[in-house]
Structure 1
Amino acid sequence: MNVLEQGWYQKHRWCALLLPLSGLFYLLSAGRRLLYRLGLKKTERLPVPVIIVGNITVGGTGKTPFTLWLCDYLRTQGYTPGIISRGYGGKVKAPRLVAELDNAALVGDEPLLLAQRSGCPVVVSPDRVAAGRFLLQKRPQVDLIISDDGLQHYRLARDLEIVLLDAQRGLGNGWLLPAGPLRELPKRLASVDLVIANSGYSALAHAGMTLQSGKAEPLLPDAPPLEPDTEIQLVAGIGNPGRFRRSAELAGFKIKHCHFWPDHHPFQADDFNMLSGPLLMTEKDAVKCRAFAKADWHYLPVVAQPDLAATTRLTTLLQQLRSRYGTQSGTD
Structure 2
Amino acid sequence: MRENLENPFPLPLWLNKCFAAQSASVLYRAVVALRNKAYDKFAFLSHPPSRPTISIGGIRAGGTGKTPVAHFCGEYLSSRGYDIAFLSRGYGRRSKDQLLISPSETVSWESVGDEPSLLKKNLPQSWIAAGSNRVQSAKELSGRVSKDTVFILDDGFQHRRLRRNLDIICVHEHVLSDFMIPHGYLREPLSSLFRADFLILTAGISDSVERLTEVAKKLRNRYKKPVSILIQKPEYWVNGTSGETSAVLPLKEPIVVCGIARPHRFINLIRSMDIRPSEILSFKDHHIFQMNDFLGMRNLYSKGLVTTEKDFLRLSSIDSAKLPQTWYLKIKLDFADNESQTAFYSTMDKFNHKITQKEAL
TM class, shorter-length = 0.7 to 0.9
Residue of structure 1 aligned with 2:261, choices 219, 234, 239 = 239
Q: Quick one: percent identity of the two aligned structures?
A: 26
Q: Which protein, 1 or 2, shows the higher relative CO under an 8 Å CA cutoff with sep ≥ 6?
A: 1
Which residue of the other structure, out of 114, 120, 128, is the alignment partner of 1:122?
128
SS of 2:279's partner is strand
The letter for the 1-side match of 2:156 is G
Does the 8 Å CA contact 2:238/2:245 hold for their aligned counterparts? Answer: no
Q: 1:15 to 1:257 in 2, by over 3 A?
A: farther
1:48 aligns with 2:38: no
How far 1:176 sits from its partner (Å)? 0.4
Greater Cα radius of gyration, structure 1 or 2? 2
Matched, 1:315 2:327: no
Question: Number of residue pairs matched?
Answer: 317
Whether contact under 8 Å (1:144, 1:329) holds in the other structure is no
Would you say the 8 A contact 2:305–2:324 is kept in 1?
Answer: no
Question: Aligned partners of 2:243 and 2:44: how far apart in 1?
Answer: 54
1:217 pairs with 208, 228, 238, which one? Answer: 238
- Aligned partner of residue 277 in structure 2, secondary structure: strand
Once residues 242 and 25 of structure 1 are traced to their aligned partners in structure 2, the CA distance between those partners, rounded to angstroms, is 29
Residue deviations 1:113-171 (CA, integer Å, cap 9, x gap): 1111123211111111112222333323552111000100111101111111233xx22
Task: Kindly indicate whether the alpha-carbon contact (under 8 Å) linking 2:251 and 2:304 is maintained by their aligned counterparts in 1.
Answer: no
Aligned partner of 1:204 in structure 2 is: 219
1:286-301 alignment runs, 5 A limit: 286-292=312-318, 293=320, 294-301=323-330
Partner of 1:111: 116
1:329 deviates by: 5.9
Report the alpha carbon displacement of residue 93 of structure 1 after superposing the two structures with TM: 3.1
- Residue 231 of structure 1 and its aligned partner are, at CA, apart by 0.4
Q: 1:94 aligns with which of 91, 94, 97?
A: 97
Residues 236 and 245 in structure 2, CA contact (< 8 A), matched pair in contact too: no
Partner of 1:175: 179
Match of 2:32 among 13, 20, 29: 29
Aligned mates of 2:359, 2:242 — CA distance in 1? 40
Write the distance in 1 (CA, Å) between the matches of 2:238 and 2:349: 38
| 3-state SS in 2 of match to 1:301 | strand
CA separation of 1:321 and 1:280: change in aligned 2, threshold 3 A: same
Query: Can you list the C-alpha shifts for 1:272-311, whole angstroms capped at 9, x where unaligned?
Result: 2234141111110101111323341111121111343344
Task: Name the counterpart of 1:190.
Answer: 194
1:127-142 alignment runs, 5 A limit: 127-142=133-148
Q: Distance in 1 between matches of 2:349 and 2:18?
A: 44
Change (3 A) 1:58 1:125: same
Q: Partner amino acid for 2:119?
A: L
Q: Secondary structure at the match of 2:332?
A: strand
The 2-side partners of 1:298 and 1:191 are apart by: 40
Q: Contact 1:57 / 1:183 at 8 angstroms: preserved in 2?
A: yes
Q: CA RMSD in A?
A: 2.6
What corresponds to 2:206 in structure 1?
none
**Aligned-residue offset at 1:40:** 7.3
Is the CA contact (8 Å cut-off) linking 2:83 and 2:146 kept in structure 1? Answer: no
1:162-184 alpha-carbon deviations (Å, 9 max, x no partner): 111233xx228521001100011
TM-score, reference length from structure 1? 0.86
Opposite residue 53 of structure 1, the aligned amino acid is I
Whole-angstrom distance in 1 between the partners of 2:359 and 2:264: 40
Cα shift readout 1:180-237 (whole Å, capped 9, x = no counterpart): 0001111222331111111241232612110111222111126796726720111111
Task: Read off the aligned partner of 1:291 and give its amino acid letter.
Answer: S
Q: Identify which of 125, 128, 144 aligns with 2:150.
A: 144
Contact 1:237 1:260 (8 Å CA) reproduced: yes
Q: Which residue is equivalent to 2:11?
A: none
Unaligned 5+ runs, structure 1: 1-11
Helix, strand or coil at the partner of 1:231? coil
| TM-score (norm: length of structure 2) | 0.80
**Separation in 1, partners of 2:51, 2:348:** 13
8 Å CA contact 2:48–2:163 kept in 1: the answer is yes
* Partner AA of 2:272 in structure 1: L
